[in-house]
Amino acid sequence: MNFRGRDVVSIRDFTKEEILHILDVAEEMLPIAQGKKKSDLLHGYIMASLFFEPSTRTRLSFETAMKRLGGEVIGFAIPTTTSIQKGESLADTIRTAESYCDVIVMRHPMEGSARMAAEFAEVPIINGGDGAGHHPTQCLLDLFTIRKEKGSIEGNKIALLGDLKYGRTVHSLAYALALFKVDMVFIAPPELQMPKEVVEECKEMGVKIEMKNNLDELEDIDVLYVTRIQKERFPDPEEYKKVAGSYRVDLKLLEKAKDDLIIMHPLPRVDEIAPEVDRTKHAAYFRQTFNGVPVRMALLALVLGEIE
């Protein structure tokens, strides 16, 4: 396996074996991510962090990942501070930025933008989310979290809850879980259910899929993956209003859950999970957030060729 110089645009760019290798490297990174061990593995390297759209989690965890490994970061957190205001094309911005760095992490509101950037750039591009498109590092940290919390990815029954229609990162996650032969339950109001093509693909990959419109039975679920209803992805605000607040995970719901159920959420959450749940053993979402650091460390070290 060779990761040096590779782009990370979509989870589909990787085989199952490659995904497992990334998770193994992330595992080794844990003590550095926790600040317990110091590292200068990426000393002298510069990561450009180009956020054409706001983000706390993805940006800060990538920056921490780079800095915990001794690397440096340049970039912008909002596009209004850049030449884009002066009418520059994305291709030119990328070709400029790559003159100044060894790897580019980007988030952009336009689907397909990361793929386009990867075509223009000679340095590796890591996609930190391209609008309604892909978000492969989120998918990898989700897999890492499931493996870490439950011992393995295989053998779990995983429920995906929330906006399964517009939240396309959930489509990537469903694909990745199917790759690991995980049976899934898709729980969403009818307006927000998983698109047919995703369901079909999962079934063709040999996994069992159930579809539900509400949350009432959690008895046999091992992992409950909750998503936020992303107002900004709805073409019609009326459609948003109908489904906003249509589900909420609280203590009452958890009475019927397995003892070792874990609850995940990519965060930020709004009202989907009641704060009272935070104090239960089920709540894995803050540990999941932390896992973004070792996973992103692994990717940076791999594409920069400092780890094989």
Give the residue numbers marked as catalytic: 57-58, 86, 107, 135
Please say which residue, 43 or 256, places its beta carbon nearer to a copy of itself. 43
Nearer to a copy of itself, 77 or 205 (CB): 77
289 within 8 A of 267, measured Cβ to Cβ:
yes
Closest approach of Cβ 149 to a copy of itself, in Å?
Answer: 15
Name the minimum Å distance from CB 102 to a copy of itself.
Answer: 5
- For residue 182, which amino acid is it? V
Q: Which residues in this chain contact a copy of itself in the complex, by CB under 8 A? A: 35, 38-39, 43-46, 48, 51, 54-57, 59-61, 63-64, 67-68, 72, 74-78, 80-89, 91-93, 95-97, 99-102, 228, 230, 267-270, 275, 286, 289-290, 292-293
Strands (E), 125-191: 125-130, 157-161, 183-187
CB of 128 to a copy of itself, least distance (A): 13
DSSP assignments along 213-241, one per residue: SS----TT-SEEEE----GGG-S-HHHHH
Smallest distance from the beta carbon of 250 to a copy of itself, in angstroms? 16
8 Å CB contact between 265 and 272: yes
Give whichever of 146 and 304 is closer to a copy of itself, judged by the CB atom. 304
List of residues 6+ apart from 173 with CB closer than 8 A: 138, 139, 142, 160, 225
Q: Which is nearer to a copy of itself, 5 or 35 (CB)?
A: 35
User: DSSP character for 53?
Assistant: S
